Amino acid sequence: MKTSAKFPFASVSLSLLVGSLALLTAFSTASAQIIYFETDFQDYPTGNLIGNQSWSGNSGNGTITVGNNIISPGNNAVVTYFDNNSPGPNSAHAFSSDITSDFLFSVDLGFTGSKGLSTPAGQFRIVDSANTGSGIYLGIRSFSGGSDFYFAYADKDNPNSYQTIGGALDPDKFYTVKGSVDFGNATYSVSLWDGGTFLASKSGITFREGTNKDLPVTKLNRVYLVQDQRGNSANFYFDNISIIPEPVAAWMLIGSASLLVLQRRRRSRTKA
């Protein structure tokens, strides 16, 4: 009797797990089709990024172009160059839909050259255009009093004073930044990688406030590539940008199915 009681449970358990995996696969496939923004710039024509593939912006007193990738020859990337002591180039791309929930992002960042006139920085931003730039601010930058470059971020408490993550970075190579965003709490976590080698991480970073500080961030809808501050001796590179939804609901579904399986197991054992 005990043996026969276990076989129906095994059938039910297997059916539930197979169904759960099928739902997870379907959910993951659907999530993969929802891409807020993604590009490796390989299908972009070389030249000015502004006006290219719907990018807008301001060249300032420099250039922001596709191509000229001396870090990874043969592959397109976006490179910024600053040619005097005035505001630098920037460019933005609007998302196809507003982000209003948790999401993941990644970007490759690099630089060549050295610190110039002041404190040059290459910034990657994901912001709310309606709230005058509130959102995620991070990138590679130098600081006064030193010649090294670091991975750094600005947050709500330090909007104009960037905080570093990890040690000094080497020129002429790409670093990968991976991030996970908790939209409801307006925070995010990031990790920095040198190829497959983990370097550093930081969690609980708050969104940097824009000009309209009294307005809550209700959406993020634009990605910016910026060369900030002065310094005509350093170029900054951006490549392999990915901004996609976080498939949390699928894992919640698996958790619910597993709980149901455990409940059925307990009932089966009780009957046996």
In the chain the first and final C-alpha atoms are separated, in Å, by 7
Looking at residue 101, its pLDDT comes to 94
Predicted confidence band of residue 43 (pLDDT cuts 50, 70, 90): very high
Q: What are the residue ranges of helices labelled H in 34-106?
A: none
Interatomic CA distance for residues 146 and 253, integer angstroms: 50
Predicted confidence band of residue 157 (pLDDT cuts 50, 70, 90): confident
Give the pLDDT mean for 173-187.
Answer: 96
Give the pLDDT mean for 14-26.
Answer: 46
Considering only residues 148 and 6, tell me which one the structure prediction assigns the higher pLDDT. 148
CATH number for the segment(s) 36-249: 2.60.120.200
**In this predicted model, what pLDDT tens digit does every residue of 93-139 receive, in sequence order?**
999 889 999 999 999 999 988 776 567 789 999 999 876 678 999 99
Looking at residue 235, its pLDDT comes to 87
Range from 84-88, 238-242, 250-254 carrying the lowest mean pLDDT: 250-254
Task: Record the pTM.
Answer: 0.78
What are the residue boundaries of the structural domains of the chain, listed by start?
2-29+252-271, 36-249
Give the pLDDT mean for 55-67.
Answer: 85
Using an 8 Å Cβ cutoff, are 166 and 200 in contact? yes
Interatomic CA distance for residues 252 and 33, integer angstroms: 20
Which residues, in sequence order, are bridge partners of residue 173?
111
Looking at residue 12, its pLDDT comes to 43
Token couple for 186: 């307006």
Q: What is the CA radius of gyration of the chain?
A: 23
Q: Is the pLDDT of residue 158 over 90?
A: no
Considering only residues 31 and 131, tell me which one the structure prediction assigns the higher pLDDT. 131
C-alpha closest to that of 122 among 188, 181, 77, 74: 77
Q: Is the pLDDT of residue 268 over 60?
A: no
As a three-state string, the secondary structure of 229-256 is CCCCCEEEEEEEEEEEECCHHHHHHHHH
Looking at residue 133, its pLDDT comes to 79
Range from 185-189, 199-203, 234-238, 257-261 carrying the lowest mean pLDDT: 257-261
